[in-house]
Structure 1
Amino acid sequence: MAENTGAGPDMSDHATEVFVAHRNLLFTVAYEMLGSAADAEDVLQETWLRWAGVDAAQVRDERAYLVRITTRQALNRLRTMKRRRESYVGPWLPEPLLTSPDVAEDAELAESMSMALLLVLETLAPTERAVFVLREVFDVGYDEIAEAVGKSPAAVRQIAHRARKHVDARRPRAAVAPGQARAALESFRRALETGDPQGLLDVLAPDVVLVSDGGGIKQAAPRPVVGAEKIARFIVGGIAKHGLEFTAEPAEVNGGPALVVRVDGEVDGVMAVRVEGDRVAGLYYVRNPAKLSRIVAALR
């Protein structure tokens, strides 16, 4: 692609307008590939720098071109992050994102952003993850994906099939209606704030899983806690042990129900909640301060 070495103001304004128009899409692509909003923002900055140097008049499909740049930059970063996460202290969870109700109404997008599915995507190789996100979430064509990941369309079809099979075998069961999820969240919130063991047992599914991420900075369970009774004891014991003022307020995080947990008035963490039927089946508690800065800033 030709470099734009002498573009005038009109061309520069057009490049900016195109980038802004597609920014939300590009951010979501990068975030779903990386599980980190901070890294996704860095990828967008790199994408903009490359886009600003392109002669837009030579670009046939601006959206496809921007998605291609974003995917390549995200893939480069993902390979580096994979190595970094091997030395991560304790369980790793994606950086939580506050989302608007319209995200939750788009069932496919909400599921693709959920903590549960992002954790499944972590088990894919970088190229498999890129292909899955572009094909399954954004319905990008095989030819376009092939250009983005540097593979042939035939190879991309095989990768997509393999990734889909891998994810389908591990993805959580279908999400419930928003009203049902809110009711379960409220029951869980009340039991959590009051430290009511029976209330927790009533709302937690028997095989519920709690994953907590302190990043070696905040205390967290060193491995997932499984089972309603174990989790109820873990939660109630933790509240009683520290004797702090503990509150939880409902929020929409990663397209699903969540609680913003405060201790002595300060944000301690964000707990995404996965609901199956009328019970809580998954709890994903992010305490690592490095992953909470966006949410803390938004709540001020």
Structure 2
Amino acid sequence: MAEIREITDLSAPELQVYTGLTHAQLRSRRQPGQGLFIAESEKVIACALAAGCRPVSFLMERRQAEGLSPQVLEGWGDVPVYTAERDVLAGLTGYALTRGYLCAMHRPVLPAAADLCRASRRVAVLEHITDASNVGAIFRSAAALGMDAVLVTPSCCDPLYRRAVRVSMGTVFQIPWAWLEGEFAPWPGSGVARLRELGFKTVAMALDDRAVSIDDPVLAGEEKLAVVLGSEGDGLSAETIAACDYTARIPMFHGVDSLNVAAAGAVIFWQLRSGAQEK
């Protein structure tokens, strides 16, 4: 049975994980066994648990605790479940809980980027994408539309930031991903070179007169392809575009020059997914 604890003291040390960890702190705590992240909503929490993430505690509305899903807490009966009324929890966390559930979890051990590349044909590379919602949406599209893995530059929003995790609908735990650090740093110089050593051609998604269309058969015909997406405002750096093997863009109509990076990612992933050239 889950140990349900009614919240009576909002300053209790055990609740500090829900109130005292800022976005910057979450991004800086990347060492396995040390860092934590917050999963929000029953579906997302279930995805994280299924992927092997270990819970520290749960926080939820009283009415949710009374109807706890056995699947969510199976095997975690010794993990405390803190509960209170909705308005009390909103005052504690600073935001209304999505569907009444939060869970503090240990950060998972991530695979090495090189290992992911060796096992993949199509990877998405995120460069300096700082909006959490966009990062979460890109992960969801990458998982659903044929990418094998996601590689993230250190300047991006942490994919395990609460909002990014929620918008991803838990797919951040389903598609393999890694930070582009170590032998892939600095990006883009060493990173693009290392991708090339691992057999990848790279395609920079950018508004450039020299860009080919994403439906160019040359792109779909590449055995291993890394799709590089840039920041919401400025897009990819000139250095990254110059370093990549191809530059490509989505054909546009009605005078529209571009799509939001998350929407663009979905279109690109579907067009360039593994095996697309064989369809």
TM-score by length of 1: 0.27
Question: More helix by proportion, 1 or 2?
Answer: 1
